[in-house]
């Protein structure tokens, strides 16, 4: 879903697992900075953009409409 959204120029907000492991934003930034983007594991993502474009990405997921 993340890749599809990015391919359609939809804004994506990532929520990687590492964000759940600390409350220190600087420590989070250091940890995430050492991991390749493709290697990050996510607990969630947020997508924002025109309704039609977002619908094409999340439309088949009933809870995400």
Residue 52 belongs to domain spanning: 2-64
**Number of domains the chain is built from:** 1
The mean per-residue pLDDT over the stretch 33-62 comes to 89
Cα–Cα distance list, 10 to 15, 21, 48, 60, 61 (Å) = 16, 27, 6, 17, 17
For residues 52 and 12, what is the distance between their CA atoms, to the nearest angstrom?
A: 16
Which residues, 6+ apart, have CB-to-CB distance to 2 below 8 Å?
Answer: 12, 14, 42, 45
Q: What is the token pair recorded at 57?
A: 């990405």
pTM of the predicted model as reported, rounded to 2 decimal places: 0.72
pLDDT band at 30 (very low <50, low <70, confident <90, very high): very high
Q: Is the pLDDT of residue 59 over 90?
A: no
């Amino acid at each position: 879903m993340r890749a599809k959204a990015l391919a359609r120029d939809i804004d994506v907000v990532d929520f990687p697992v590492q964000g759940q492991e600390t409350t220190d934003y600087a420590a989070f930034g250091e940890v995430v900075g050492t991991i390749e983007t493709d290697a990050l594991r996510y607990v969630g993502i947020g997508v924002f953009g025109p309704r039609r474009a977002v619908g094409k990405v999340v439309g088949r997921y009933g809870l995400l409409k």
